[in-house]
Amino acid sequence: MGEVMLKSQELEKVIRMFNDKSMVAKNARVSVELPDKSLWDVTELFLAANKIIGCRETHRIVIRISKEIASPGSIEYKM
């Protein structure tokens, strides 16, 4: 299928682009949309070392999520 994994540098570029252009983005809630279209809140981000010896990715950024406490409703449009 050739799915592309998001790298930390690319994530930083996108967040910086949002934050540099908008005060609204700086204060926006961070959610993850699952394939079933349900939204989950991001509760934690951390850097973790991989335990697999010889793996080309020695570290990964882990994003922990939890079920939304207060639903923001459906997404109106992407900005």
Q: What pLDDT, on a 0 to 100 scale, did the predictor assign at position 62? A: 92
**19-40 per-position pLDDT tens digit:** 998 888 889 888 898 999 888 9
> How large is the average pLDDT for residues 12-16?
92
CA dihedral sign, ordered 48, 63, 78, 2: positive
Assign 13 a pLDDT band (cuts: 50, 70, 90). very high
Separation between Cα atoms, residue 57 and residue 10, nearest integer Å:
16
